[in-house]
Structure 1
Amino acid sequence: MTAPQVRQSRTAVVDLSAARAIVWLTATAFLALVALYFIGVDQGATSVFGADNTYVHEFLHDARHLLGFPCH
């Protein structure tokens, strides 16, 4: 009889360091605030891209109402 073959599987090591977690949390919070600005605050007239530029507002108009933000 032969000895059974043992499979060696390698699993990926997950880096749970505090520094890496801080970087991910900071990036996530920044992207969430940017999304919140564009969906909830950018009104077209008070846009940081110019008062006559309403492209961002019109592009996200239906998402604003879906999420409950009034805009007019």
Structure 2
Amino acid sequence: MQIFIVVASFFEMASLGAVVPFLGVLSEPEPVFQNEYLQPFIKFFGITETNQLALPMTVCSLALYFSQQLFV
């Protein structure tokens, strides 16, 4: 039972922590292209314009939120 509580708290923390980066990408996406850690993902998915970041970030945020809700 305690393991489930720890896992649920991790999902809750991750879903709340994903809100600020999500809003940051939507409001100012240019720094994402300059981030060296995100460059492999950007090149892999073929993202070339700033407006192409909204859909992947939305899908990831919704997937994280729904996985958190399904677990609880």
User: Larger radius of gyration, structure 1 or 2?
Assistant: 1
Classify the TM-score, shorter chain: 0.3 to 0.5
**TM-score for both structures, normalised by structure 2:** 0.41
Q: Which has the higher helix share?
A: 2
**What TM-score does the superposition give when structure 1 sets the normalisation length?**
0.41
Q: Which has the higher contact order (CA 8 A, sep 6+)?
A: 2
